[in-house]
Amino acid sequence: MKLFLRTFGCRANQYDSETVRALVEQQGGEIVDAPEDADVAVFNSCAVTAEAVADLRQQVRAAARRNEKLRSVVMGCAAGLGGSARASIAALPTVQAIVHGVDLDTIAQAIGIATGRPVAPARQSGARALLRIQDGCDEHCTFCATTIVRGVHRSRDASAIVAEATALAEHHGEIVLTGVHIGGWGRELGTSLGALVERLVREVSRVRFRLTSIEATEVDERLGELLTGAPGRVAPHLHAPLQSGSDRLLKRMGRHWYTARRYAAAIERIAAAASVFALGGDVITGFPGEREDDHRETVALVRSLPFTSLHVFPYSARPDTAAERLPQLVSGRVSRARAAELRDLAAFKADTHLRSRIGGAADVVVIRDGESRRGLTEDYLDVALEGVTPPRSERFAATLALRDGALIAEARDRLGG
Identify the CATH number of the domain in which residue 291 sits: 3.80.30.20
Residues 36 and 135 in one domain: no
Residues 339 and 210 in one domain: yes
Residues 171 and 226 in one domain: yes
d(CA 207, CA 414): 13
Mean pLDDT of the 291-309 span: 98
Answer yes or no: are the C-beta atoms of 208 and 416 closer than 8 Å: yes
Q: Which of residues 50, 85, 111 is at a domain's end?
A: 111
Predicted pLDDT at 100: 85
Mean pLDDT of the 109-135 span: 88
Q: Which residue stretches of 38-192 are H helix?
A: 50-66, 83-90, 104-111, 146-150, 158-168
Predicted pLDDT at 16: 93
Residues 351 and 386 in one domain: no
Determine the structural domain holding residue 286 and report its residue range.
129-356
Predicted pLDDT at 122: 86
Confidence at 417, pLDDT banded by 50, 70, 90? low
Answer yes or no: is 104 within a domain. yes
Is the confidence at residue 226, as pLDDT, over 70?
A: yes
Residues 207 and 231 in one domain: yes
Question: What are the pLDDT digits (tens) for 316-341?
Answer: 999 889 999 999 999 999 999 999 99
**Predicted TM-score of the model (pTM):** 0.93
145 C-beta neighbours (distance < 10 Å), count: 26
* Torsion over CA: 163, 167, 173, 176 (sign): negative
Answer yes or no: is 124 within a domain. no
Question: What are the pLDDT digits (tens) for 374-397?
Answer: 999 999 999 999 988 899 999 999
Grouping H, G, I as helix, E, B as strand and the rest as coil, residue 411 is strand
Residues 251 and 141 in one domain: yes
Answer yes or no: is 120 within a domain. no
Answer yes or no: is 47 within a domain. yes
281 or 86, higher pLDDT: 281
Tell how strand 129-132 and strand 174-178 pair up: parallel
Question: What are the pLDDT digits (tens) for 24-45?
Answer: 998 899 999 999 999 999 999 9
Q: Which of residues 47, 82, 111 is at a domain's end?
A: 111
Mean pLDDT of the 158-186 span: 97
Predicted pLDDT at 120: 80
Q: Which of residues 356, 377, 392 is at a domain's end?
A: 356
314 or 149, higher pLDDT: 314
The number of domains in the chain is 3
What CATH number has the domain bearing residue 82?
3.40.50.12160
| Mean pLDDT estimate for the chain | 94
